Amino acid sequence: MCFCSVGVAHPYSILRLDNNWELLFAFESGKSLKELDSLNIDYSESQIALLKLWKLIEKIDGKYYTSIPFYTEPASTELRAETRQIAKNINRLIQDDYNSFKQIIENRKIERNTFSIFFAFVLDDLVWQVFSEKGLMKKVEVTKENPFWDGTMWVIQPKRDFSCGTNSMKYENLSIGVNNLPEKSDIEVSDYKLLKKMLKDYKENGIITDKEIIQTFSKNDLFNSSGELLIPIIKADSTDVLFNQSDIIANKVANYLIENLEFERILTQYSFEDKEQAILVLYHEIMWDMLEIMEENGQLLKPIAFDKSKKATQKDLRDLIFIVEN
């Protein structure tokens, strides 16, 4: 898992090189290069240097340690049992608010975007904003001093049957959110840079006019033949009832966690470094638990691109994308 802002490249791109993942796991409990040799694990000096440069490993007293925390069984099983119960409590708390949210979605005739707006906008955007406002999250940003990436990465096992995330891009006061596709999906965003360029085109012209954008994304039904956007646009102010309702839910979710998480116990029990790391790991699990429980209760349906990815068409990508105007 990675909660980060990316500059030069995503840290995954480094871990996918050679056998860097193997090295990361080997360094979990700390090892010298001689100890690595004794395990017959191949490596080169340039690999070690690259992992250090990207702050994925660190050297302490002659030994290398992964900079990424690991949460494995049985601790992860215990942690997930706890997050599922928290998710149940939150779902009960927001049930009426969620019903109102769904009604607004239906009134706008954007029902197919329900999952992605609820997850990627409400749970995976607005809630994090509340955490930041409350001082629980530091600003994640790439700088000249930290040009590669900034944020937190962690490993948790076993892998969930289903999880998802969000990619977002900004242009001035506009941002476009994409609910991440499953790894094995046959459809995908063909060009994220061009998707960001689409924001600029829309900002300047009110419609999509760029020929390259039209050629690339017309198959996804993101706009009609006149260039008018067909994806939901949420205005992030009090004039937009969908934003207001989303904000109500986000605040209830965040405040419940802030007020009810037993941080002193949790930090000790799961060896979290601080409250921020605890929130990062726990809330990601809670988000997916909430989605799973709501799906089990018939309150929420996955988009076709998630639920029946092999049957999805390029037009189904539209269900996963929305724009927010600040």
Give pLDDT tens digits for 43-73: 999 999 999 999 999 999 999 999 999 999 9
The pLDDT assigned to 7 comes to 83
> Which of 17, 45, 68 represents a domain boundary (last residue)?
68
On whether both 139 and 265 belong to a single domain, the answer is yes
Question: Within 10 A of 167 (CB to CB), how many other CB atoms are there?
Answer: 17
Token representation of residue 19: 């056998």
Q: Which residues, 6+ apart, have CB-to-CB distance to 58 below 8 Å?
A: 52, 64, 65, 67
- The helix or strand, by DSSP H or E, that contains position 65, with its residue range, turns out to be strand 63-66
Based on the fold, state whether residues 18 and 82 are members of the same structural domain. no
Q: Are 117 and 303 in contact, with CB atoms under 8 Å apart? A: no
Amino acid occupying residue 183: E
pLDDT at position 145, please? 80
Q: Of the residues 11, 45, 68, which one is the last residue of a structural domain? A: 68
CATH code for position 16: 1.10.10
Same domain, 106 and 25: no
Same domain, 41 and 113: no
Report the domain count for the chain: 2
Are 44 and 188 contained in the same domain? no
The two three-digit tokens of residue 180, written as one number: 């991440």
Residue 53 and residue 84 in one domain: no
Whether residues 59 and 193 fall in one domain? no
pLDDT, residue 184, reads 60
By the 8 A CB rule, do 167 and 177 touch?
Answer: yes
Residue ranges making up the domain that contains 115? 75-152+160-325
What pLDDT score was predicted for residue 312?
A: 85
Tell me, what's the pLDDT at 254? 97
Of 68, 91, 114, the residue at which a domain comes to its end is 68
Same domain, 44 and 106: no
Asked if 308 and 227 sit in the same domain, the reply is yes
Alpha-carbon gap, residue 184 to 68, rounded angstroms: 26
Same domain, 59 and 174: no
Same domain, 12 and 106: no
> Per residue in 98-117, is it b (16+ CB within 10 Å) or e — as a string?
bebbbebbeeeebebbbbbb
What's the pLDDT at 138? 86
For residues 266-291, one letter each, b for 16 or more C-beta atoms within 10 angstroms of the residue's C-beta and e for the rest, the string is beeebebeebbbbbbbbbbbbbbbbb
Task: Pick out the chain residues at pLDDT < 70.
Answer: 182-186, 309
